[in-house]
Amino acid sequence: MANLLFNLLAIFTVVCAIGVVVNKNAVNAAMCLLLSLVGVAGLFIGLDAYLLAFLLLLVYAGAIVALFLFIIMLLDTKGDERARVARIPIAARVVALVLVLAGIASFFAHGRLPVPDPTTAPAVGASLKLYAYQLFTTYLLPVQIVGFLLLIAMLGVIVLSKRFEGLDDIK
């Protein structure tokens, strides 16, 4: 059951991710990104990280993709764009294909990590209490730094969006 669910979500996520890359229209690409993020949130639930699945939907799907859509609509760019696959030389394509296939082959041949059996082990990330405890003890300094980072980002956006007098001669 869990395997079937994983396979379905994985295929869904990858197909939607490919849709982001191949879609000529930016709005359609944003919608594909949204669906792909929903798939990743489902995978997070499969990994017992319920809080992160919720946050992923809230932050990415709710805020970031909405911001993307807003900017796409605001700028109203032309959708007549083709991906530049045709201009890549044959030699580069062959080298890239061989490297990717070699990487995948070595991943399946040697990629065995000594991890304990997760079906019997408890899911640590499922409890909210541990997040709160860690964020306020071990990771207190990173939390402060991230708060400062958000403040700087806000100031940066204001500075970037404001029109300054006397800077119009820069072309």
| 3-class DSSP state of 118 | coil
- Distance between CA atoms of 27 and 79, rounded to whole angstroms? 9
Residue 150 to residue 145: CA distance in whole angstroms? 9
Q: Is 111 helix (H, G, I), strand (E, B) or coil?
A: coil
- The residue to which tokens 């700087």 are assigned: 152
Using CB under 8 A, pick the residue from 63, 94, 95, 101 that binds other proteins: 63
State in Å, rounded, how far the first CA of the chain is from the last one. Answer: 59
Binders in 1-20 for other proteins, by CB under 8 A: 1-3, 5-6, 10, 13-14, 17-18, 20
Residue 98 in contact with other proteins, rule: CB under 8 A: no
Does 95 sit near other proteins (CB under 8 A)? no
Query: In the structure encoding, which two tokens stand for residue 159, read together?
Result: 């500075």
Structure tokens at 5: 């669910």
Minimum Å gap between C-beta 25 and other proteins is: 10
CA 36 – CA 39 distance, rounded (Å): 5
Site string for other proteins, 141-170 (x = CB under 8 A): -x---x--xx-xxx-xx--xx---------
Distance CA 144, CA 167 (A): 35
> Nearest approach, Cβ of 26 to other proteins (angstroms)?
5
Q: Which position among 21, 91, 109, 141 is part of the footprint of other proteins (CB under 8 A)?
A: 21
Among the listed residues 8, 67, 94, 105, the single contact to other proteins using CB under 8 A? 67
Select from 59, 97, 102, 140 the one that contacts other proteins (CB under 8 A). Answer: 59
The contact pattern for other proteins, residues 114-133, with x = CB under 8 A and - = no contact, is: -xx-xx-xxxxx----xx--
